[in-house]
Amino acid sequence: MISALVNPLRFMAFSRWAAPALGALAAALIVVGIALGAAAPPDYQQGETVRIMFVHVPAAWTAMFAYAALGSASFVFLVFRVALADAAARAAAPLGAGFTLMALITGSLWGRPMWGAWWVWDARLTSVLVLFLLFVGYLALRAAIEEEQRAARAGAILALVGLVNLPVIKFSVDWWNTLHQGESIFRAGGPTIAAVYLWPLFVMGAGFLAAFGALWLVRIRAEVWRRRAAGLALQAAADA
């Protein structure tokens, strides 16, 4: 398993079947999650809009997971100099940015009927916004550095700095929010939530994670191919 994640040849053999398998799992879980979510009764407070949570919360979870994946891959790249780990980091970042964007948009859609505003500085939305900015910073830094190895290392250092900062950011935003906003808001995943909502939430969460995993593997494969192609082009130019 470990060597499958370090050795490009083994990885390509492993991901060849793992990516479609995860994709199929994701599709099945999301279909079941949507069915469960549609079957759940409307919330006595939120009405039908509670169903937006079944997309919003899993997207936010997956975005957090994507940053953890980006940070861990960066750590492996910096410490063990595994080229494949950099490909993994590079592949994870745009996906993470996509999931954070999905969480932001669905959060905003949910906020309009609930709070009467498209955007409210709620703790979860604010954390997700900062997470989005972290992804944007990572992508911008990598894009700004021309030489690939240099961009890879600078990106990895930034991802690690962000990973260390992320719990502090989460804590500070939650703390700031409780100080400024007395009323309690819908706490997804909290103990107060009814079981009818928990099941679709978890199934959708697992589905989103599987979807992230599948897309991640596909993107890593694409990155490995891109590097091979670039290497071959360089070789051809040298031979010519």
Partner 1 sequence: MITALTGRDLAVKRGERLLFEGLDFDVRAGGAVVVTGPNGAGKTSLIRAVAGLIAPVQGRIGFHGPAGPIEPDEARRAGCHLIGHQDGLKGARAAREELLFWTRWTGGGAASAHRAAVLLGLERILPLEVRLLSAGQRRRLALARLIAAPRSLWLLDEPFVSLDGAARATLQEILRRHLEEGGMVFAASHEPLPVAAQILELGR
Partner 2 sequence: MSAAGTLLARELRLVFARGGGPLLALGFFACVAAVLPLAVGPAPGKLALVAQGAAWTALALSMLLGLDRLFEPDLDDGALDLLALGPLPLAFVGAIKCLAQWLVNGAPLALAAPIVEVALGGPPRAAPMMLAAGALGSLAFAFVGGTGAALVVAARRGGLLIAVIVIPLIVPPVIFGGVAIDAYASGQPWAPALALLGAYALAAVALSPLAMGAACRNALG
Q: Which stretch binds partner 1 (CB under 8 A): 86-94, 197-205, 212-220, 228-236?
A: 228-236
- Residues binding partner 2 (CB under 8 A): 78, 130, 133-134, 136-137, 140-141, 144-145, 147, 150-151, 153-154, 157-158, 160-162, 164-165, 168-169, 171-173, 175-176, 179
CA quadruple 180, 185, 187, 191: dihedral positive or negative?
positive
The verdict on 234 binding partner 1 (CB under 8 A) reads yes
Task: Centre a 10 Å sphere on the Cβ of residue 173 and count the other Cβ atoms it contains.
Answer: 20
Name the minimum Å distance from CB 135 to partner 2. 9
The smaller minimum CB distance to partner 1, of residues 179 and 237, is found at 237
Closest CA to 156 of 66, 221, 63, 70: 70
The verdict on 20 binding partner 1 (CB under 8 A) reads no
b/e sequence 196-221, b meaning 16+ C-beta within 10 Å: ebebbbbbbbbbbbbbbbbbbbbbbb
Name the minimum Å distance from CB 98 to partner 1. 29
| Among residues 20, 41, 113, 231, the one that binds partner 1 under rule CB under 8 A | 231
- Residues 6 or more apart in contact with residue 175 via CB below 8 angstroms: none
The verdict on 149 binding partner 1 (CB under 8 A) reads yes
The smaller minimum CB distance to partner 2, of residues 150 and 187, is found at 150
The verdict on 228 binding partner 1 (CB under 8 A) reads no
The verdict on 157 binding partner 1 (CB under 8 A) reads no
The answer to whether 99 and 59 have CB atoms below 8 angstroms apart is: yes
Task: Centre a 10 Å sphere on the Cβ of residue 54 and count the other Cβ atoms it contains.
Answer: 25
Q: CA-based angle 105:109:113, to the nearest 5?
A: 160
The smaller minimum CB distance to partner 1, of residues 34 and 151, is found at 151
Q: Which amino acid is at 93?
A: A
